[in-house]
Amino acid sequence: MDQRISVKTFYIETFGCQMNAHDSEKVVGTLIGQGYTQVATPDEAELVFYNTCSIRDKAEQKVFHRLQQFKRGAKGKKIAVLGCVAQQEGEKIFEKAPNVSMVCGSASYNKLPELLVQLETGNRRVTGLSLDTDLTFETPLTRRDNPHRAYITIIEGCDKSCSYCVVPFTRGPERSRTGASVIAEATDIARAGYTEIQLLGQNVNSYRDPSPAAWDFAKLLDEVGRVDGIRRVRFTTSHPRDFVKEIIDAIDANPALCDHVHLPVQSGSSRVLEGMRRQYTRAQYMERIAWMRAAQRPIAISTDIIVGFPGETEADFEETLALLDEVGYDSIFSFKYSPRPNTWALALADQISEEEKTRRLAIVQERQREIQIRQNAGYLGRVEECLVEGFNRATGQWMGRTSQNKPLNFLRRSADQDLSGRYVHARVTRAGPNSLVGECVN
Ligand code: SAH
Ligand code: SF4
Ligand code: F3S
């Protein structure tokens, strides 16, 4: 009898950031290239993948919760853990969750075809856990989920060492792709009908083309914005330390580069920033904000905030609130500090209580809500171009997004035409804290 186990259907669930979402698109393409078929539920699948996130404890717990659910009644099913929890926990995952057959971090995805063969030929446990690589994970087989916005990874890993962050441990050292390979992918994407590209990396600003052309990030941005058919280019994430004025100059010079920059500040207190090892002060951060405010087009700015970093005093926290007012962000993501394995901040004294973190988070979010109500009210009456992302049956509105990345939903008198993927102009008639509502004007 043939002892080979034929595993040919798979299911994948993805947690975490856009890097992970896009990695999954590449993993799906790779699996399909190996003859696997994607199914919609874990029940139908012979091989179940979790592409995991460990940025905060809650994110990590989610995957262990999923793995628990498979303890009973999952005979014959194989489970693979990918992503940041895989890299962080390594073979310990096999002890915590004995039903897992594969543990593979993002720096080893090039090895996936090989690992799949090992699984198929009867290996019970396979791993890809080396961080010792100068390769990026690229494949022409990427299966993109979004029909309008295409992600392109330009740099993997992170060479910063923010004291709270697991990413340098889970994604390894920085590796940039060549500018030529990014442009080739952007050109393919444009030919396939995409008009919007989002360039991805944990710190896109430290992008450096490894080929002799040696493009920096501003040059790469400009080149991607020149690809025929591409109307919008976004990028995430920018680290303030490596954010240079040339990036704003590139946006000024090239209308395809969107009017939006996500520039995570984390805290408004230089003292806390030092503890976080962010390598910039509040004043240096504000200097970058000033460059954006001086740009030719109005640039929307968003950020990430962590509250309750060890030792954050009430006065430090007040500085964060004052910074929110001073910058007037268009949107923010805010988090309670979560102690993470391997990180420097883990050992810091003066941890803030959960209750206090909850209180500070609520205050930040309420303050920002007020700011967004004011900001968005300024759009009333304005005509904005938006890329239509789809139709919301519940509200009867088309859902669009402006160059500034603001959701702008609108009604259209003749609802018969499918506008998805089209660029339309809408006049803003209502403004809420999180989105705008308008009327189509063309
Ligand atoms: N590379 C990006 C973002 C990485 S993770 C950057 O440097 O900005 C996304 C966000 O998660 C971070 O900006 C930070 O606000 C938050 N984050 C990271 N580690 C965290 C932790 N231990 N606790 C709470 N939030 C965290
Ligand atoms: Fe983490 Fe800092 Fe790297 Fe961002 S720059 S991924 S916060 S270590
Ligand atoms: Fe999470 Fe890893 Fe992204 S920890 S936020 S999936 S880089």
* Distance (Å, whole) CA 317 – CA 322: 9
Residue nearest to atom 12 of ligand 1 (CA): 304
97 lies in the same domain as 240: no
* Distance (Å, whole) CA 238 – CA 199: 11
**pLDDT value for 406:** 98
Whether the predicted pLDDT of 398 surpasses 80: yes
Domain end residue (candidates: 360, 377, 394)? 377
* Distance (Å, whole) CA 345 – CA 339: 7
Contact call for residues 202 and 158 (beta carbons, < 8 A): yes
Contact call for residues 40 and 75 (beta carbons, < 8 A): no
235 lies in the same domain as 219: yes
* Distance (Å, whole) CA 187 – CA 137: 19
Of the residues 14, 15, 19, 338, which should be mutated to test ligand 3's pocket, given the most ligand atoms within 8 Å of the CB? Answer: 19
Which candidate, 256, 250, 261, places its Cα nearest to that of 327?
Answer: 261
Give the domain CATH number at 84.
3.40.50.12160
Residue 346 placed within a domain: yes
Residue 134 placed within a domain: no
Contact call for residues 158 and 41 (beta carbons, < 8 A): no
Cα radius of gyration (the chain):
23
248 lies in the same domain as 153: yes
In the predicted model, what is the mean pLDDT of the chain?
94
Where does the pLDDT of residue 3 fall: very low under 50, low under 70, confident under 90, or very high at 90 and above?
A: very low
Q: CA angle at residue 26 from 23 to 29, to 5 degrees?
A: 150
Please give the structure tokens belonging to residue 101.
């057959």
Residue 90 placed within a domain: yes
How far from chain centre, in Å, is Cα 379? Answer: 27
* Distance (Å, whole) CA 37 – CA 8: 6
H or E element that contains 191? helix 179-191
**β partners of residue 266:** 305
Q: Which of 67-71, 230-234, 295-299 has the weakest average pLDDT? A: 67-71
Contact call for residues 9 and 44 (beta carbons, < 8 A): yes
| Three-class SS state of 172 | coil
**pLDDT value for 127:** 98
Longest CA–CA span in the chain (Å) reads 73
- The rounded Å distance from CA 71 to ligand 1 centre is 32
Pocket of ligand 1 (CB under 6 A): 55-56, 164-165, 167, 202-203, 237, 239, 264, 266, 304, 306, 335, 337-338, 340
295 lies in the same domain as 155: yes
User: Beta strand pairing status for 300-307 and 331-336?
Assistant: parallel
| Residues in Cβ contact with 240 at an 8 Å cutoff, skipping those fewer than 6 apart | 263, 264, 265, 278, 280, 284, 285, 288
107 lies in the same domain as 55: yes
95 lies in the same domain as 192: no
Residue nearest to atom 3 of ligand 3 (CA): 17
Whether the predicted pLDDT of 1 surpasses 50: no
373 lies in the same domain as 388: no
DSSP string for 196-211: EEEEE-TTGGG-B--S
Domain end residue (candidates: 342, 377, 412)? 377
Contact call for residues 320 and 268 (beta carbons, < 8 A): yes
Residue 140 placed within a domain: no
- Which of 23-32, 115-124, 140-149: highest mean pLDDT? 23-32
**pLDDT value for 297:** 96
Whether the predicted pLDDT of 28 surpasses 80: yes
Q: Which ligand lies nearest the alpha carbon of 277?
A: 2
Of the residues 162, 171, 200, 263, which should be mutated to test ligand 2's pocket, given the most ligand atoms within 8 Å of the CB? Answer: 162
73 lies in the same domain as 203: no
The single residue listed with the structure tokens 């993002």 is 106
Q: Which ligand lies nearest the alpha carbon of 264?
A: 1
Whether the predicted pLDDT of 74 surpasses 80: no
Pocket of ligand 3 (CB under 6 A): 16-17, 19-20, 53-55, 83-84, 166-167, 170-171
User: Beta strand pairing status for 383-392 and 423-431?
Assistant: antiparallel
Average of per-residue pLDDT across 290-301: 98
As a whole-number percent, the residues of the chain with pLDDT over 90 amount to 90
- The single-letter code of the amino acid at 376 is N
Where does the pLDDT of residue 385 fall: very low under 50, low under 70, confident under 90, or very high at 90 and above?
A: very high
Of the residues 169, 203, 342, which should be mutated to test ligand 2's pocket, given the most ligand atoms within 8 Å of the CB? Answer: 203
Give the domain CATH number at 269.
3.80.30.20
Residue nearest to atom 14 of ligand 1 (CA): 304
Whether the predicted pLDDT of 2 surpasses 80: no
| Residues in Cβ contact with 281 at an 8 Å cutoff, skipping those fewer than 6 apart | 270, 273
339 lies in the same domain as 425: no
Contact call for residues 399 and 410 (beta carbons, < 8 A): no
Beta strand segments in 179-297, E? 196-200, 232-236, 260-262
- The rounded Å distance from CA 59 to ligand 1 centre is 12
Domain end residue (candidates: 128, 158, 185)? 128
Average of per-residue pLDDT across 45-62: 96
Give the domain CATH number at 398.
2.40.50.140
Q: How far apart are the first and last CA of the chain?
A: 67
Task: Show the domain range for 398.
Answer: 383-440
Residue 133 placed within a domain: no
**pLDDT value for 73:** 53
- The rounded Å distance from CA 363 to ligand 3 centre is 26
What tens digit of pLDDT does each residue of 198-244 get?
A: 999 999 999 999 999 999 999 999 999 999 999 999 999 999 999 99
Pocket of ligand 2 (CB under 6 A): 158, 160, 162, 165, 167-168, 202-203, 239
Residue 142 placed within a domain: no
Please give the structure tokens belonging to residue 408.
């702008």
Contact call for residues 80 and 100 (beta carbons, < 8 A): yes
92 lies in the same domain as 16: yes
Residue nearest to atom 3 of ligand 1 (CA): 202
* Distance (Å, whole) CA 284 – CA 280: 6
Residue 139 placed within a domain: no
Residue 188 placed within a domain: yes
Average of per-residue pLDDT across 2-18: 80
117 lies in the same domain as 47: yes
Domain total for the chain?
3
Where does the pLDDT of residue 414 fall: very low under 50, low under 70, confident under 90, or very high at 90 and above?
A: low
Which candidate, 271, 251, 269, 268, places its Cα nearest to that of 260?
Answer: 251
308 lies in the same domain as 416: no
* Distance (Å, whole) CA 12 – CA 80: 9
Please give the structure tokens belonging to residue 266.
């984390």
